[in-house]
Structure 1
Amino acid sequence: MSTSPSPEERAQKDKEQKAREAEEQARLPYKWTQQIGDLDLTIPVAANIKGRDIEVVLTKTKLKAALKGQEPFIDGSLTKAIHPDESTWTLETVPSGKEISIHLDKANKMEWWDAVVGNAPYKIDTSKITPENSKLGDLDGETRGMVEKMMYDQRQKEMGKPTSEEEKKMEMLRRFQEQHPEMDFSGAKMG
């Protein structure tokens, strides 16, 4: 009989996994971060590099970034699709020299990526991503409504109360019962 790990054991395991992921990500020749709708990569390069020395290929499903005539920093099929026309790259001057900055606009703005390219040696556990708190006001009306409904339903479930869908069904049944008092609903089951 196995017992599930205690919250302390789970926290320790999560901490160890996060440290391992950070170590693996640090070994990549690029750094990357993501929001739910986009992804940014930075690749450090020497201060004497010019834009013409750089080769970046962005398609819906592929990314390649290299210094011309050298082994690419990254080259492979993207984990998920992007909008290439909305994605960009620039060469930036930073305190340590220069870096290639690549911005990818995700095609699906509702999913996290576990890696930038499919052939990446290290993947992250997307179930452990804690998104930055964004304001509901930043979302468009339809998305905001969907997020508010999901948040409400989650709170209701945590309290053992009915979700918005279950409340609608119960309200419909209540109205039907009022309109048909002659019917016996004592054995009715909700499901």
Structure 2
Amino acid sequence: MSTTSDDYDSLGKEEREARDKADREREAAEQAALPYTWKQQLSDVDIEIPVPKGTRSRQLDVVIHKKKLSVGLKGQEPIMAGGLCKEIKVEDSAWTLEDQQTVLVHLEKLNQQQWWENVLTHHPKIDTKKIVPQDSRLSDLDAETRAMVEKMMFDNQQKQMGKPTSDEIKKTEAIRKFQQAHPELDFSNAKIS
């Protein structure tokens, strides 16, 4: 049951919570009915497809294309087959058979800044606005990315307090040093933005 955001916005807190709960339950039931389970990060999608215990990899028929995926047993209807909801990097995607009972498919997303609503286009969609990304620690990031994130966090904190951002602080400091180095210049009528 898809609703418009205007309709949702007009609901009271309890009605929103009830609708969210119903949507989560519906979504969970739809996903549980699929012949596979899946999870995603911004960069990739991992799919687990159960197969009969004792299955050997040579008995499997797995096809991974840029916009298409098919997984099944040779000579039988595929367990899952169809168009992928988004394009993938085929050369970075792979599959393996685990414990002779689960096919694990790893798909590397082409666009690594976008959540997928579903794996195959004809399967039920999830609400990507309600995805809560996995926590990451600043220490997990490389030095350059970490410095950029720390700067953004500092600037955001400064703005919330009505204080100058790091760039504004640097600019003010550069102007102050220039004025000290050139006391003969008159800055009284200068407009500094």
Q: Percent identity at matched positions?
A: 42
* Whole-angstrom distance in 2 between the partners of 1:111 and 1:162: 33
- Return closer, same or farther for 1:175/1:34 CA change in 2, 3 Å cut-off: same
Deviation at 1:72, TM superposition (A): 1.8
* Alignment match, 2:140: 138
Q: Deviations along 1:61-81, whole A, 9 cap, x unmatched?
A: 222112112222222232222
Deviation at 1:174, TM superposition (A): 8.7
* Whole-angstrom distance in 2 between the partners of 1:156 and 1:9: 36
Deviation at 1:128, TM superposition (A): 0.5
* Alignment match, 2:115: 112
* Alignment match, 1:83: 89
Deviation at 1:36, TM superposition (A): 2.0
Q: Give the TM-score of the pair, scaled to structure 1.
A: 0.75
Output the amino acid matched with 1:63.
Answer: L
* Whole-angstrom distance in 1 between the partners of 2:44 and 2:133: 13
Deviation at 1:154, TM superposition (A): 5.4
* Whole-angstrom distance in 2 between the partners of 1:145 and 1:106: 26
Q: How many pairs align?
A: 179
Which of 4, 12, 26 does residue 18 from structure 2 map onto?
12
Which of 38, 42, 50 does residue 36 from structure 1 map onto?
42
* Alignment match, 1:101: 104
Output the amino acid matched with 1:62.
Answer: K
Which of 53, 59, 80 does residue 65 from structure 2 map onto?
59
- Return closer, same or farther for 1:113/1:144 CA change in 2, 3 Å cut-off: farther
* Alignment match, 2:27: 21
3-state SS, counterpart of residue 22 of structure 1? helix
- Return closer, same or farther for 1:144/1:76 CA change in 2, 3 Å cut-off: farther
Output the amino acid matched with 1:57.
Answer: V
- Return closer, same or farther for 1:175/1:151 CA change in 2, 3 Å cut-off: closer
Output the amino acid matched with 1:8.
Answer: E
* Whole-angstrom distance in 1 between the partners of 2:64 and 2:18: 39
* Whole-angstrom distance in 2 between the partners of 1:163 and 1:105: 41
Q: Give the TM-score of the pair, scaled to structure 2.
A: 0.74
User: Higher mean Cα deviation, 6-15 or 79-88?
Assistant: 6-15
RMSD: 3.1
- Return closer, same or farther for 1:145/1:170 CA change in 2, 3 Å cut-off: closer
User: Higher mean Cα deviation, 169-178 or 19-28?
Assistant: 169-178
Query: Structure 1 stretches of 5 or more lacking a match?
Result: none
- Return closer, same or farther for 1:141/1:46 CA change in 2, 3 Å cut-off: same
